[in-house]
Amino acid sequence: GEDVEQSLFLSVREGDSSVINCTYTDSSSTYLYWYKQEPGAGLQLLTYIFSNMDMKQDQRLTVLLNKKDKHLSLRIADTQTGDSAIYFCAESRGAGSYQLTFGKGTKLSVIP
């Protein structure tokens, strides 16, 4: 199966919370990331979490990590139309491995 899996689409109403989910397979992952990509643009690092943490909050963003289930989620509070983009989950595996392995991305559509 896929190393990093995400659902492909999510649609939410403006002002609601969005929750984007990701599962990964490598238990030795050291860092887990969320990137945002707007149409025609590069990848913007939104946030990342070290694997010994359960949660990280940064303004409207909350990352939850369930290491037992290898599940990562990104919650965006008070979702705005400017949040419409593709969100990529990625993992960095094990000591000495610095490359990132990406999911295929979740396209978030915000309905005004």
Partner 1 sequence: NAGVTQTPKFQVLKTGQSMTLQCAQDMNHEYMSWYRQDPGMGLRLIHYSVGAGITDQGEVPNGYNVSRSTTEDFPLRLLSAAPSQTSVYFCASRFLDRGEAFFGQGTRLTVV
The only residue of 54, 98, 109, 111 in contact with partner 1, by rule CB under 8 A: 98
When asked if residue 30 is in the footprint of partner 1 (CB under 8 A), the reply is yes
Spatial separation of the C-alpha atoms in residues 35 and 102, rounded to whole Å: 10
Spatial separation of the C-alpha atoms in residues 80 and 109, rounded to whole Å: 10
Would you say 9 or 13 has its CB closer to partner 1?
9
Backbone angles phi, psi at 39, to 5 degrees: -55, 130
Would you say 20 or 105 has its CB closer to partner 1?
105
Per the CB < 8 A criterion, the answer to whether 65 and 44 are in contact is no
Chain residues that interact with partner 1, rule: CB under 8 A: 30-31, 33, 35, 41-45, 48, 50, 88, 92, 98-100, 102-105
